Amino acid sequence: MTADTAARRSSAPKRQGTGKRPLFRRRSAIPGFGLTMGVTLTVLSLIVLIPLSAVVLKAAHQSPAEFWAVATSQRSLAAYRLSFGAAFVAAVINGVFGVLTAWALVRYDFPGKTVVNALVDLPFALPTAVAGIALATLYAPNGWVGQFLTPLGIKAAYNPIGVTIALIFIGLPFVVRTIEPVLRDAAEDVEEAAASLGANRIDTILRIVLPALAPAWLTGFAMAFARGVGEYGSVIFIAGNMPYKSEIAPLLIIIQLEQFEYARAATIAVVMLAVSFTMLLIINAIQAWARRFD
């Protein structure tokens, strides 16, 4: 061994033991990874996994032919189309007006701003049955708004339009409150720099503002859509609940339960669960893709 080799070895940092660091081990202000993960998995299992598994097992009591017959019956398909279609349309509408509402609340000061801010959160606190009764009273043919729509040939209550109105009402806060923090953190000097370089307002919105809001917008859209698919209380009062026309899937599940057809109810629930889970996975994948360009 030469003197240079010995010097290099002596100056090299000494290793504390030969073992590798355990996987997933990170220094944290809250110790106990095993305990916290165990509690998390236990709570998720009791609240989410076990109930959903029970629904799937109940539906599995039927034969594949019986399951398919219930899941694809004309009445079930009509209920799926209304529930998922109205939830999607409502989420898109909330996606547009939710951005505008959040922009006004964040970027401008105006009289009554506190009141408007509180009204946005009203669907969170208002019981869904109360919301449904209020909307049905408002948009009924003799209601405050419906009496002006009826002469125009627009029937806003007791049909699929009423279902969409109810889902817009309960889904708007999800989009607004998801986008609002992103707008608050967005630096206005970036927009000013774009304007100084010659970009007009449309270019600034399309190339700077909207791309920055895309992940948050998708999150709000997904939350509004998921809430709309499973909404029941605010919809049944304004929907009309006519089979094949204005009957939502959650109501069809309730009807099957009242008739003691538990396996049939579980079948419809499993189909809704599968479709909702698939759509949420797709939205989350789009979010992950969008974050790669942040």
> CB of 53 within 8 A of CB of 59?
no
Query: How high is the mean pLDDT of the chain?
Result: 83
> How many helices and strands, by DSSP H and E, does the chain display?
16, 0
Please tell me the distance from the alpha carbon of residue 271 to that of residue 285, in angstroms, as a whole number: 21
Neighbouring CB atoms inside 10 A of 246's CB total: 24
Q: What pLDDT is attached to residue 4? A: 52
The torsion angles phi and psi of 121, rounded to 5 degrees, stand at -85, -5
Q: What pLDDT is attached to residue 25? A: 54
> CB of 290 within 8 A of CB of 215?
yes
Say whether pTM exceeds 0.95.
Answer: no
User: Minimal CA–CA distance to 294: which of 217, 213, 219, 223?
Assistant: 213
Per-residue pLDDT of 99-139, as tens digits, reads 999 988 988 888 888 898 889 988 888 888 898 899 988 99
Task: Please give the structure tokens belonging to residue 21.
Answer: 């660091």
User: Percentage of the chain surpassing pLDDT 70?
Assistant: 83
Q: What is the dihedral of CA 141, 142, 148, 152, to 10 degrees?
A: 30
Q: What pLDDT is attached to residue 17? A: 46
Q: Mean pLDDT, consecutive 10-residue segments, the chain of 294 residues?
A: 50 49 56 78 88 89 90 92 94 93 88 89 88 90 87 87 92 92 75 69 73 84 89 89 90 91 92 87 77 64
Q: What pLDDT is attached to residue 81? A: 94
